[in-house]
A and B are shown apart, each in its own frame.
Chain A
Amino acid sequence: MHSENRIGIFLCNCKKVLSKKVSFKELLAYFKDYKDVEYIEENNYLCNMNTAKELEKRIKDNKLNRVIIAACSPQLKGTFFKNIISESGINYNLISFVNLREQCAMLFSEEGSATRNAINLIESSIRRTIKQEPIKIKTTMIRQSVLVIGGGLAGLQTALNLSKLYYRVILVERNNQLGGYLKTDYFFEGKNVNYKELISKKIEEIIKNNRIIILNQAELIELEGFVGDFKATIKVSNMNKKNEIKYLNIGAIVLSTGCQNYLPADKYGISLSSKVQKLSQLADIINKKKESLNNINSICFISGIISDDQRLQGETLLKLSLKLAEEHKIQVYILCKNVFVAQDGLEELYQNARSKGVLFLKYNKESPRIDFKKDINKIEVSLYDPLLGVDLSNRGKKITISCDLLALEELIIPSTGTKELSEILQITTDGDGFYQQGNISLQPVFTNRKGIFTVGSCRGLKSVVQTVDDSAMVSLEIHNLLKEKRIQYKLDGAVVDDDKCILCLTCLRTCPHKAIQLVKNIDPNQTRIVINGLACERCGLCVSHCPANAIVLPRYKNSQIFAEII
């Protein structure tokens, strides 16, 4: 049964500011006997709590079923009015806004045009609001468990945080031990921090925790379902090489797969040997095979050739060189463009290293030249340092260093398997291969799929403190998503008309949020496309791409849009 339209229009002159340009008298007269308009009034200060409460009374008295608020920008007060009016029983989709401030009063210099524009906007809003339909709200269950992939610091910290917020956590680690990057010898003890001790404590805490299940030597191989109800398939390799497949139902997924070192040897133009080593290899040697350093008198580090970003290396470099100079009495040269000190305590380390005899040489544009002198079994590195003086060609003073060992700086790239995992999970990666953030600064821990989050260095290199902060952020975002076991969502996501759908699967390929699913059935007539309302972000891409016009967004149907713009 088609019920009668009873539209109420509430105008606001924003403390008489808008009435300078827009003639409210004219508006009142024009819409008084307008078709379907039941009630119209002008207000001075509509967003005042007291006036807003009277709205409810007006709506009930006049039995209004649709409301138009013609005031300032809906971005400013939209949610406020929607909340207040929804209390009086009007569906939020039947409330529409006309922006009299930015789109009328501020836009025109003379009064006539502003008023005319206001009339036009309100008229089109009336035409549209008649076509709008109420949107229902659906409630679904959401699973209270989280899958964390990667057992590095970020993964461990996130798992601990989530367990303290009373969620069940399944921690999946590819290797047979937890700890990740911090377990390797690449990290050195800082001023008052012992990374290894710290990570061992975390692992102990995790093992004791009965809300966390740890799966070592396990990998995610398949994922189905949507936010709140993912179905993950996990392959666990056992000691006797028998693979075990586990099926898990989870509410959300956190990726903490981290990063790794990589040496692009071609960029240096030399190959690795016992005389030329990666920075990480050298770290290993210092920690494990100290005796091999006995024959070495001088070491040269080269940094800054492949990348200007040496945040991780900066710290390691300083600590390493300090250790070599102090404990092994080795002359250390550090060739770099910039010394990285932008972190807690690094400036102190830098000063300390200099006082212990570590030499810092800064080259400018030209990269250092490396020569192997086989006759004296040494490596010669030459560079131009402009700070030490000038030669004829204005390049700075030429300095030649001969050393026994060369250590090269490495790049930081995403860890192996990041690409494969991103294909399984259908999430996007950025230009460097790291996982793409939802929005570079607005939604750092989100991905393009709802319910899948990233944490730590798998999104770009992060320091230990930053990683801890990041895992707090991701835990709280997950808590926000899962804290109510039954969540409500509006059914205004895209909907497929099964009669029109020709199963071309264009939408399946188009959807950036992977919210569309092909539900197969033995009977081909029963096979159909389903869009998950919770995962759908209402972007409307599938609507515009569908060749059969089978998909609609309930709030933005063609008929509604055309009614507004006629």
Chain B
Amino acid sequence: MADKSVLIVGAGIAGITAALRLARNNFKVYLIDREAYIGGQAISYNCIGVENCNKCSVCLLQRRVREIEEYFPNILIKVNSEIEEVKNSKDKFDVTLKKGFSIINPDLCQGCGLCKKVCPSSAITVSHPQSIPRTYKVNPENCLKINGEEDCRKCIDVCPFRAIDFNSIIKEETLSDISAIILTTGFEPWDPTAKAEYGYRENKNVITASDFKHKLYMNGHICRPSDQKIPKKIAIIQCVGSRDRSINNQNCSRICCGYGIQMGRLLKEQDPEVEVSIFYMDIQPFGKEFNKTFNESKKDFNIKYLKSIPSQITENEEGKVIIKYENPRNGNIEKQYFDLAILSIATNPAKKFGKLAEKLNVWVNDSGFCEIPNYMQGNKTNKTGVFVAGTSLGPKDINECIANAENAALEVMLYLNK
């Protein structure tokens, strides 16, 4: 009796939670995402099975991603899709999706992996190790057909589902009779190249927190990008891109203190001999048991906390990172050598959220996040029938996103059951 349908834009943790809750209560859900897989930002993080649970909450997402398959007919996943046009009549929406996929059609691909085996130049890879739906993609740099050899059609011939087509790239699809829309477009990590004094990209051994997570995910340990050696002295720099007048973002990004401390603990747990220093401005408590985690990191893990924000980061020929900062103990300007520097970057709203909000006539605040008219109905936008949840409203951690998405699901249920 799934009669009313809801469109959820963005299949991150908030989108998936809302989708599951609505499907459980007999609504039809279209879950769309512009990437080729669902899971959003958090799927690229992973639980590092260390002795003490660091409460990264990544397990929550993986559980839900697995669960979403069970609701197959009620939740329809549409990946590689973006909203092209929205028509609003009375309380219904007609939404046109633009589906841009590169060569392998994710709707048809069953993830059998035969194409990967026959490809002579190994240009076909899984789009993401844990991606659901498990689809493959063609890397245009390696593909022989794209790079001159027109006759190569090995993958096309082998595919039992006829999912590979080098001609069709963009397709449009219209979803009609949508009763409500939930925006869960999420966040994007801030680009630290804008802060030139930290020399991100110029200095090889200066990485961001998302690079850090990605490296851990791929290798299981962290190594220096310049020479692949295991670093012994690591600096973590907080508040990069937040609470900073020079880049016009004065707001606190909330989650960075939590994940900065988590990163330190992870590094210490993998190798207790690593020296970890955290440069910070103010520690912002976050969530239950923050105190305990913070004090433990000082006492049991011996992480050094320096109340100072570096003014400059450079790198010498050996790959050592030189951090210039004011020593909080004596006020002198000092330089310290590190093997690796990790920037705890701020969260920005998704780039295309502004355009999407324009199409839907939804308010956006100065920082680029969604603006809500009523404080107590935190998920209703100014437009009737359009709801918002998760990090589209501002920085949140995984647990908060889940609670927030549940609230959005409840508001949608009450709105549609009227």
Contact = CB atoms under 8 A, between A and B. Distances in A.
- B partners with A: yes
Interface of A: 15, 76, 79-80, 161, 164-165, 192-193, 198, 307-311, 337-344, 346-348, 351, 362, 364, 386-387, 389-390, 394, 396, 440-442, 444, 459-460, 465-466, 468-470, 472-473, 475-476, 479-480, 483
A79 B63 CA distance: 14
Contact of A309 (B251, B290, B394): B290
Contacts of B289: 440, 460
A309 B295 CA distance: 11
Contact of A469 (B55, B66, B403, B414): B403
B220 interface: no
B139 interface: no
Q: Which of A344, A479, A483 has the most CB of B within 10 A?
A: A344
B378 A308 contact: no
A161 B406 CA distance: 12
Given A193-B375, A468-B376, 10 more contacts: A192-B375, A309-B285, A342-B284, A387-B328, A441-B57, A442-B60, A442-B63, A444-B403, A472-B403, A479-B25
23 contacts: A161-B410, A198-B375, A308-B294, A309-B290, A311-B285, A338-B282, A341-B243, A342-B252, A342-B254, A342-B286, A362-B307, A386-B328, A387-B328, A440-B289, A441-B59, A441-B60, A442-B60, A442-B63, A469-B404, A472-B407, A473-B403, A476-B21, A483-B25
Nearest to B409: A476
A444 B399 contact: yes
Contacts of A480: 24
Nearest to B26: A483
Nearest to A336: B282
Interface string B388-418: 0000001000111011101101110110000
B112 interface: yes
A460 B284 contact: no
B257 interface: yes
Interface string B266-297: 00000000000000001111101111001100
A308 B407 contact: no
Nearest to A190: B375
B151 interface: no
Contacts of A470: 403
B111 to A, nearest CB: 10
Contacts of B294: 308
Interface bracket on B: 35 or more
A308 B243 contact: no
Contact of A472 (B60, B112, B329, B410): B410
A343 to B, nearest CB: 8
A340 B398 CA distance: 21
B331 interface: yes
A469 B285 contact: no
Given A161-B410, A390-B331, A476-B21, A344 B403 contact: no
B329 A394 contact: yes
Contacts of B285: 308-311, 340, 342
Contacts of A343: 252, 254
Q: Which of B21, B112, B288, B378 has the most CB of A within 10 A?
A: B288
B248 interface: no
B387 to A, nearest CB: 12
A386 B60 contact: no
Nearest to A479: B25
B219 interface: no
Contacts of A339: 282
B312 interface: no
A346 B376 contact: no
Contacts of A198: 375-376
B70 interface: yes
B250 interface: yes
A364 B294 CA distance: 15
B307 A469 contact: no
B330 interface: yes
Contacts of A338: 282-284
A476 B243 contact: no
Interface string B357-376: 00000000000000000011
A282 to B, nearest CB: 22
Contacts of A440: 53, 55, 288-289
Contacts of A390: 329-331
Interface in B34-79: 53, 55, 57, 59-60, 63, 66, 70
Contacts of A441: 55, 57, 59-60, 398-399
B399 to A, nearest CB: 6
B403 A364 contact: no
A308 B291 contact: yes
Contacts of B112: 15
Nearest to B72: A49
B257 A468 contact: no
Contacts of B375: 192-193, 198, 465
Contact of B406 (A344, A387, A460, A476): A476
Contacts of B413: 165
B406 A389 contact: no
B329 A386 contact: yes
A339 B280 CA distance: 12
Contacts of A193: 375
Contacts of B406: 469, 472-473, 476
Given A198-B376, A469-B400, A475-B410, A346 B252 contact: yes
A481 to B, nearest CB: 12
Interface string B241-274: 0010000001110100100000000000000000
A473 B407 contact: yes
A347 to B, nearest CB: 5
Nearest to B328: A386
Contacts of B394: 344
Nearest to B58: A441
Q: Which 5 A-B pairs have the closest CB atoms?
A: A472-B407, A342-B284, A469-B403, A338-B282, A460-B288
Contact of B400 (A337, A387, A466): A466
A347 B376 contact: no
A230 B317 CA distance: 72
Contacts of A473: 402-403, 406-407
B147 to A, nearest CB: 30
Contacts of A362: 307
A469 B401 CA distance: 9
Contacts of B70: 79-80
A470 B410 CA distance: 11
B66 to A, nearest CB: 8
B291 A468 contact: no
Given A15-B112, A339-B282, A390-B331, A347 B407 contact: no
Interface in B293-346: 294-295, 307, 328-331
Nearest to A362: B307
A480 B378 CA distance: 23
Given A341-B243, A341-B282, A469 B407 contact: yes
Contacts of A483: 25
Contacts of A308: 283, 285, 290-291, 294-295
Given A341-B284, A347-B243, A441-B399, A469 B378 contact: yes
Given A338-B283, A338-B284, A340-B285, A468 B378 contact: yes
A339 B282 CA distance: 6
Given A198-B376, A308-B295, A340 B330 contact: no
A309 B243 CA distance: 20
A257 to B, nearest CB: 16
A473 to B, nearest CB: 4
Interface in B87-138: 112-113
A347 B378 contact: no
Contacts of B403: 444, 466, 469-470, 472-473
Contacts of B59: 441-442
B291 A307 contact: yes
A386 B307 contact: yes
Contacts of B257: 342
